[in-house]
């Protein structure tokens, strides 16, 4: 668990920069946005950000309050549908990042546990079958704590530059070889 600080300012004057201004190459880049975007940690649903090769935000999947990394590890169908729709509209990046806000009033302690890590490890290869590299699941609570599941499994917050194509997926036929 890590803690981050938000600058003290008048809430009426807070306008977070556009997400398009950021490049996400590390969990710390997501934390930098959370420091100025006061909704991160307070939302009751996870979001799946689709990033391009440079870490720029391309599009996203807004899940529901009932969705979780554990559910997607058991059945990634909603994420697969998001991928198909993103490819159809031409804006879906191959590198995905789950930003999971878990307010303490909704998620009782512990905010994250071994089941999150297990689900992350199971979901990665499932997403790779349809051309997606799951970079990380970064979990935030409303007490300014955060966790990186990539860090918990790899020992670093930095993401490598995995190519989703390495899993055998080809955009021209949308099949796995």
Kindly report, residue by residue over 37-60, the tens digit of the pLDDT.
989 999 999 999 999 999 999 999
> Does 41 fall in a domain?
yes
pLDDT at residue 114 is higher than 80: yes
131: which residues sit within 8 A by CB, 6+ positions away? Answer: 83, 94, 164, 165, 167, 169, 171
Closest CA to 66 of 84, 78, 81, 50: 78
- The range of the structural domain enclosing residue 125 comes to 32-104+111-161
pLDDT at residue 16 is higher than 90: no
Q: What is the CATH number of the domain that holds 153?
A: 3.40.140.10
- Predicted TM-score (pTM) of this structure: 0.87
Length of the chain: 177
């Amino acid at each position: 668990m890590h803690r981050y600080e938000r600058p003290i300012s008048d809430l009426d004057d807070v306008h977070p920069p556009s997400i398009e201004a950021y490049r996400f190459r590390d969990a710390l880049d997501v934390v930098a946005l959370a420091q100025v975007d006061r909704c991160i940690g307070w939302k009751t649903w996870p979001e799946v950000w689709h990033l391009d090769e440079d870490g720029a935000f391309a599009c996203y999947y807004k899940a529901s309050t009932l969705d979780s990394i554990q559910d997607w590890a058991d059945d990634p169908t909603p994420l697969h549908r998001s991928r198909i729709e993103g490819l159809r509209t031409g804006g879906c990046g191959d590198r995905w990042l789950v930003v999971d806000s878990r307010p303490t009033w909704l998620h009782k302690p512990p905010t994250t546990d071994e089941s999150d890590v297990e689900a992350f490890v199971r979901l990665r290869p499932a997403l790779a079958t349809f051309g997606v590299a799951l970079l990380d699941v970064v979990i935030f609570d409303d007490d300014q704590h955060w966790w990186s599941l990539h860090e918990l499994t790899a020992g670093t917050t930095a993401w490598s530059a995995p190519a989703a194509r390495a899993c055998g997926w080809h955009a021209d036929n949308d099949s796995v070889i």
